[in-house]
Amino acid sequence: MKKKILSVLLTAAMVTGILAGCGSSAAPAADTGAAADTGAAEEAAPADDAAADDSAAADASTGEAAAAAAEGENSLTVWAWDANFNIPALKAAEADYQKNVDPDFTLNIVEQSQSSDVENAITLAGSSGDYSALPDIVLFQDHYIQRYVADYPDAWNNLEGADIDWSDFGAEKLSYSTIDGKHYGVPVDNGTAIMAYRVDLLEEAGYTLDDMTGISWDKFIEVGKAVYDKTGKYLLCMDGDGNDLIYMMLQAEGQSQFQDGVPVFVDNPTLVEVVKLIVQMAQENVLYLANDWSDYTDQAIQGDMVAGVMNGNWIIPTIEQVGDNSGKWEITSLPTINGGEGYAANGGSSLYITGNSKNVELAQKFLASTFGAGSTDTYDDALKNGGVITCSTKASKSDVYQEGVEYFNNQAIYSKIVEMGTHVPVVEQSDYHYPARQVLATAIQNAIAGADVETEIEQAETDLKFEMGIQ
């Protein structure tokens, strides 16, 4: 019973956290956390089969109709979520393909309310052995695809033979969708993390963006205390329930929370140091840990409480909601423990061809000619109309990507983000990414309140292993 209760609690926490903002990207003109994960963001965690059956059954008729509609030789059907982010990107790809390849092509886009709709539909199809309700292509969260390919191999067609230059994409992005040496997904959005600063507030405390680039976390804390003393603003903020700082800070060090599929917290010196740094920053008014996602986006970032934000670049539209701060923000790489520029990613998704596609060759050609080609037409329009930033280095060379962005003091932030993405280290991923985030977030909250840090880390590892069924 204890295990069942813990499992339910962790699953509920996963759903809440991912809906808040880390599995996918956010809408450019709305609350990015709510629309997201919605990179960042982000969506609901994979459900048990029974829960998935209940959730997906309601969409079965829609799925069957969508699949049937895709049977035309010049037509494909795709499922995706987020009308303000992913859908405009797909429409841009459709227009690109019509313009440059086939004017009679049609992409039937079936909008899902969140990413869990797609996950549950795959679970339902795989559990029943009937994939007929699936479309040709689905958008799928990076963090979960390996589990779903392993559990339901017949649900997918790989992309071997597609005319795609895979070297055009960062190794970290491709590490999610490359399974047993085969490519399964074509990257859509870029989850590269940014460190964004209010440079006007830094200046009040006597610092510049150059001072914050390649900085150590100890120096960051020193600057953060000075900024708080001078301005009353925190230099960093994060959702305390869905704390993504641990993962990003670890990845910037080239480290993971897992080793060979097993959570390693206690015997992971880098993780222990990262947790201690987060606790210290919260206790010394350098970091504001919000009560929930709304508090993080609405009160902290948009409510003028902070001088810095670190998250997947999908957080940019949230920052931009405060018009009065235009020209006051700039971005750079992340701090690291010993100093030097750090790189990480948080959130993101890719496009996958399902096992039900009746026209795999067309699906491969469509993906290869648009998202997979680093197409200027696709990615320029996706950026302008949906805020989707490419992972393609070719696409980032366009005039649109090279333009300075007024809100960010005329920095060419989009090309910079793509370039930073090429440096993100590949670290071990796990289907238990979100439960790990939850148990460590709880450990941090307890430590901030006065509990022993290392005892809390040990308890977090014990709880996660229990959830995973590891003795």
Degrees (nearest 5) of the Cα angle 141, 146, 151? 115
> In terms of domains, do 286 and 389 share one?
no
> In terms of domains, do 294 and 437 share one?
yes
Cα separation, 416 vs 190, in Å, equals 12
**Domain membership flag for residue 41:** no
At 111, give phi and psi (nearest 5°). -75, 130
**Domain membership flag for residue 383:** yes
**Domain membership flag for residue 33:** no
Say what the pTM is: 0.83
At 11, give phi and psi (nearest 5°). -65, -40
Q: How many CB atoms lie within 10 A of CB 404?
A: 12
Cα separation, 143 vs 37, in Å, equals 11
Tokens of 179: 């399974």
Strand 287-290 and strand 236-239: pairing? parallel
Q: Residue 408: CB partners within 8 Å, gap ≥ 6?
A: 196, 327, 329, 330, 331
> In terms of domains, do 181 and 295 share one?
no
Q: How many CB atoms lie within 10 A of CB 397?
A: 13
Q: How many domains does the chain have?
A: 2
> In terms of domains, do 94 and 236 share one?
no
Write down the pLDDT at residue 72.
Answer: 66
Write down the pLDDT at residue 17.
Answer: 36
DSSP for 413-454, please give it.
Answer: HHHHHHHHHTTPPP----TTHHHHHHHHHHHHHHHHTT--HH
Question: Which is nearest to 412 in space by CA: 400, 394, 425?
Answer: 400
The gap between the terminal CA atoms of the chain, to the nearest Å, is: 17
> In terms of domains, do 106 and 171 share one?
yes
Cα separation, 241 vs 13, in Å, equals 8
Domain C-terminal end among 336, 367, 397:
397
**Domain membership flag for residue 52:** yes
> In terms of domains, do 181 and 291 share one?
no
**Domain membership flag for residue 426:** yes
Q: Which residues of the chain have pLDDT under 70?
A: 1-72
Cα separation, 362 vs 359, in Å, equals 5
CA distances from 52 to 83, 126, 216, 226, 352 (A): 23, 11, 44, 50, 20
Residue owning tokens 């309601």: 58
> In terms of domains, do 290 and 439 share one?
yes
> In terms of domains, do 302 and 363 share one?
no
**Domain membership flag for residue 38:** no
Cα separation, 265 vs 196, in Å, equals 28
Write down the pLDDT at residue 368.
Answer: 97
> In terms of domains, do 407 and 466 share one?
yes
> In terms of domains, do 323 and 466 share one?
yes
Tokens of 209: 């963006």
CATH of the domain at 138: 3.40.190.10
Give Cα 162 distance to the centre of its chain.
25
E-strand spans in 380-424? none
**Domain membership flag for residue 76:** yes
**Domain membership flag for residue 161:** yes
> In terms of domains, do 112 and 197 share one?
no
Cα separation, 140 vs 184, in Å, equals 11
By three-state DSSP, how is residue 330 classified? strand
Domain range holding 157? 46-188+350-397
By three-state DSSP, how is residue 194 classified? strand
DSSP for 225-280, please give it.
Answer: HHHHHHHS-BSEEEESSS--HHHHHHHHTT--SEETTEE--TT-HHHHHHHHHHHH
> In terms of domains, do 369 and 462 share one?
no
If you compute the radius of gyration of the chain from its CA atoms, what whole number of angstroms results?
21
Cα separation, 439 vs 454, in Å, equals 13
CB 434 within 8 A of CB 268: no
Question: Which is nearest to 27 in space by CA: 244, 314, 310, 239?
Answer: 314
E strand or H helix at 112, and its extent? strand 106-112
Tokens of 471: 């003795």
DSSP for 120-176, please give it.
Answer: HHHHHHHHHT--TT--SEEEEEGGGHHHHHHH-GGGEE--TT----GGGB-HHHHHH
